[in-house]
Amino acid sequence: MADKLVLVSGVSGYVASHIVKLLQESGYRVRGTVRSLKDAARIAPLTQLAKNPKHGLELVEADLVRDDGWDKAMEGVYAVMHTASPFPPIGADVKEEAIFRPAIEGTRRVLAAAANAGVKKVVVTSSIIAVVGKGGIVKGKKYNEEEWTDHTSEEVTVYGRSKTLAERAAWEFLDSQPEDKKFELSTVNPALVMGPPLMESHRSATSVGIMRDTLSNKPPFLPSINFPVCDVRDVALAHLKCLTNPGAVGKRHLISSGAIWFKGIHEIVGSEFNPQGCRITTRSLPNFLVRVAALFDQGVRMEVLPRLDEILELDTSRMTDVLGIKPTPMKSSLLDMAYAMMELGIVDKPAKYSGPKFSQY
């Protein structure tokens, strides 16, 4: 299986870079798409992701909103990992026009090029938001891969709708294909991804921004919200397993190591870094203040209010039983992420820095 050529879309991204690293270290040949090859400083670290790869990373230009480059990118490709998609900062006021085209039309474009080129397998990076994003959590319910977000609901964010419609587009595209054009499709549906970034340019990734805020003591008070998380290395492994495990074909896969309160994240990161000189808060924001803020702030209204005091439970048995993934402990995900960000210069090292200390989970 190794030595086969795998195309990964959007390799400059936080998640995709781990997929590339793992594929290369597993012996695959990897071709990656980027929107532009011109930014040498951004491109150079991509060629250094894997330790002693058997094959170097090949890079090609392709944009999700344009046809150019995709047919050429698919030449000789055995499998595609379609990971590129805009992931705006949580709470940002994004317009549908900005992200629907690359997310939905882009997915159709990539899959059409894959079908034309006779690609055998496709793994699409979806999200739990295509499963659970109905706006408001049903108490006591354990969400599984049978569920779909209602993309018509006004309580679902623009990003949530983009991911739901993009994943639906992938399954519908496959259904619409004649037998000789069909490939094997799986989706990976991660929770909020945490874990070490591999490149300094990942400072702009939404996940990395969340940890940057924690390390810079922003926000100073924490709303009582809880969210499922997962490790970026487990997400990469899930993509690889979807490639190799026949049980993954035609299925969606929720990926999560469990749920954690916002305050819990600050407690874990604070106990490691406050003794080193950080000032990470664990002070709570009372619910009534969140409700007041929600009157004025759409981000709080859409992303925080529906989750106040709620725990979103996921059934991750496909991840453990079918893909065979034992999730990385949350503490390792959070601390490895923070240390990697300090080592990469994404955040300043605290005055009494004693790292780097990475977990051997």
Site residues for ligand NAP per CB under 6 A: 10, 12-16, 35, 63-65, 83-87, 102, 125, 127, 163, 190, 192-193, 205-207
Nearest-approach distance from CB 55 to ligand NAP, in angstroms: 21
- Helices of type H across 57-137: 70-73, 96-100, 106-116, 129-132
Between 190 and 196, CB nearer to ligand NAP:
190
Between 12 and 350, CB nearer to ligand NAP:
12
Residues whose CB is less than 8 angstroms from the CB of residue 314 and which lie 6 or more positions away in sequence, other chains included: 128, 132, 142, 143, 144, 191, 228, 254, 256, 259
Residues whose CB is less than 8 angstroms from the CB of residue 346 and which lie 6 or more positions away in sequence, other chains included: 197, 200, 202, 203, 208, 212
β-strands 29-34, 142-143: how paired?
unpaired
Residue 76, Cβ neighbours under 10 Å: how many? 12
Residues whose CB is less than 8 angstroms from the CB of residue 286 and which lie 6 or more positions away in sequence, other chains included: none
Nearest-approach distance from CB 13 to ligand NAP, in angstroms: 3
Between 12 and 157, CB nearer to ligand NAP:
12
Per-residue CA distances from 2 to 67, 78, 344 (Å): 29, 11, 31
Q: Which residue's C-beta sits nearest to ligand NAP?
A: 13
Nearest-approach distance from CB 274 to ligand NAP, in angstroms: 25
- One of 121, 163, 263, 349 is an active-site residue; which one? 163
Nearest-approach distance from CB 226 to ligand NAP, in angstroms: 16
Nearest-approach distance from CB 227 to ligand NAP, in angstroms: 10
Between 38 and 139, CB nearer to ligand NAP:
38
Between 13 and 350, CB nearer to ligand NAP:
13
Active site residue 21: no
Q: How far apart are CA 267 and CA 263, in angstroms?
A: 6
Residue 134, Cβ neighbours under 10 Å: how many? 18
Residues whose CB is less than 8 angstroms from the CB of residue 179 and which lie 6 or more positions away in sequence, other chains included: none
Q: Give the catalytic positions in this structure.
A: 163
